[in-house]
Structure 1
């Protein structure tokens, strides 16, 4: 067998193709809200975090953005009134990004739209047992390759 025929290469190639295809579907912004995919990702990440707040450094880690990239993104979302910055009470150098009430409303709308897309092109293609197994598998891989990505990290 040639190295390029290795099933591990196939698995990685399929994962990449699926990711790229889903990102194209999710980034089409059919509602015309003018939000980038990273902005939507940050809003959803904040909404799913206890207290709907994260330190900017944790947000950078969890989204794979640089610290300066998160700062610029937070600036844009703050200008749009979707998040606010709050100082960290225990570290003057740190700040939290906190979802505003308007941000919560928008995230709920975006999530409902994204669920339709995700169900059509991803999870809806799997039966419940396949989905449960797949989620477990993804978590094992994610925790190894990106350990800071969990909300509690």
Structure 2
């Protein structure tokens, strides 16, 4: 990893760095678009539904406090609240007041939500393999993992803005 010296931080990206950045952003957007399209065609779930259901399916007792869920999926609490309302109307999740926290709520995966999640998982994982894993050699896949980890570490070390 390259050390970001004060001089390097003040520099604008080079033409080559901007070309790489743009390719990265555009390719990531195209990949996300194709994964989203496949998920919606092969299931009744949106990517937002899937990420919420995944988090709940992995949580103890398949439930989480809404504030913890918002943090886990990286959404603002208001965005999550609106999305959970739509999911609740479709019977994918249920919400109830948290008995230990005033104005807090617990979100629980319903049997219908668990079934929808399980039906969507295999087709979604096939799409991940087809669109991402199979496009890369094992060395490229390992490098992609290292790049993602380096970016995550760099972003996590930065103060909240």
TM-score by length of 1: 0.76
Residue 99 of structure 1 corresponds to 109
Separation in 2, partners of 1:143, 1:51:
30
Unaligned segments of structure 2, at least 5 residues: 1-11
Are 1:46 and 1:98, in contact at CA under 8 Å, matched by a contact in 2? yes
Deviation sequence 1:77-118 (CA, Å, 0-9, x none): 111111111433431222122211221121111111111111
**1:2-151 superposed matches below 5 A:** 3-7=13-17, 9-28=18-37, 29-31=40-42, 33=44, 35-145=45-155
Separation in 1, partners of 2:121, 2:91:
18
Separation in 1, partners of 2:73, 2:49:
10
Are 2:42 and 2:120, in contact at CA under 8 Å, matched by a contact in 1? no
Separation in 2, partners of 1:52, 1:136:
31
Deviation at 1:45, TM superposition (A): 2.6
Unaligned segments of structure 1, at least 5 residues: 148-153
Are 2:43 and 2:120, in contact at CA under 8 Å, matched by a contact in 1? no
Separation in 2, partners of 1:41, 1:139:
20
RMSD over aligned Cα, in angstroms? 2.5
Deviation at 1:146, TM superposition (A): 5.1
How many residues align? The count is: 144
SS at 1:92's partner residue?
coil
Separation in 1, partners of 2:149, 2:35:
21
